[in-house]
Amino acid sequence: MAAPKVTVLDYGSGNVRSAVRALERVGADVTLSARAEDVTEADGLLVPGVGAFAAVMAALNEVGAVRHIGRRIAGNRPVLGICVGHQVFFDEGVEHGVRTPGLGEWPGTVELLPAPIVPHMGWNTVTAPEGTRLFSGIEEERFYFVHSYAVQRWDFEVLQPRMKPPLVTWSEHGAPFVAGVENGPLSAVQFHPEKSGDAGAQLLENWLGTL
């Protein structure tokens, strides 16, 4: 079988090279690009992200990626977000009192973690739901987090009787927070799989298996 073609979205985020290498190690044919055809036509799209929510949203808008990501999701084409690339799929982010609209695929606000020490930096466990594909075989593993903000409440209304509710994975630092979401073609994780050793590699391999 041909290697799945994955585009890592190149919009100025700082962790793209490590993401490219991690995907290549698990068998993907990877392109680093923001070109419309690469974003929309690849078997899978990975949206990385580090830094501030507002800066990431501004950069996504600047390269025209918001529209292309929306087209992929509407067309049932797989997308994986990581770190701030996970956060931007929620309604909004609040940093230093400033609210920035996100992509609005899921309800929720990205807010500062109520922990004695932030950022939340290092290895942590997760609680994955029954039926997860992303975390299949690695439910008990630890993953590497670097973040100060997260979505701490989940309130998703299922609007259609046949619609499956998203699968939500949780972790905790000061309070429970959303560590991962699996929702049809769109998945995202708060941690860095490319920095999470064998467990992160298995998660990326699991995602490739859904393409």
The model's pLDDT over 57-67, given as tens digits with 9 standing for 90+, comes to 999 999 999 99
| Alpha carbon distance 52, 71 (integer Å) | 25
In order of 48, 55, 160, 192, the CA distances from 12 in angstroms are 10, 10, 37, 17
Per-residue tens of pLDDT for the chain, all 211 residues: 789 999 999 998 776 899 999 999 999 999 999 999 999 999 999 999 999 999 999 999 999 999 999 999 999 999 999 999 999 999 999 999 999 999 999 999 999 999 999 999 999 999 999 999 999 999 999 999 999 999 999 998 776 667 788 999 999 999 999 999 999 999 999 999 999 999 999 999 999 999 9
Verify whether residue 83 is a known catalytic residue: yes
Tell me if residue 205 is catalytic: no
Verify whether residue 41 is a known catalytic residue.
Answer: no
- Give me the residues paired with residue 189 across strands: 82, 180
Nearest by Cα to 138 from 63, 209, 51, 56: 209
Q: What is the pLDDT of residue 159?
A: 67
Question: Could you say which of 120, 147, 173, 192 is catalytic?
Answer: 192
One of 68, 83, 86, 120 is an active-site residue; which one? 83
Share of the chain above pLDDT 90, in %: 90
- Three-point CA angle 132, 104, 38, nearest 5°: 75
CB 187 within 8 A of CB 178: no
Q: Identify the active-site residue in 92, 105, 111, 194.
A: 194
Q: What is the pLDDT of residues 83-103, one digit of tens each?
A: 999 999 999 999 999 999 999
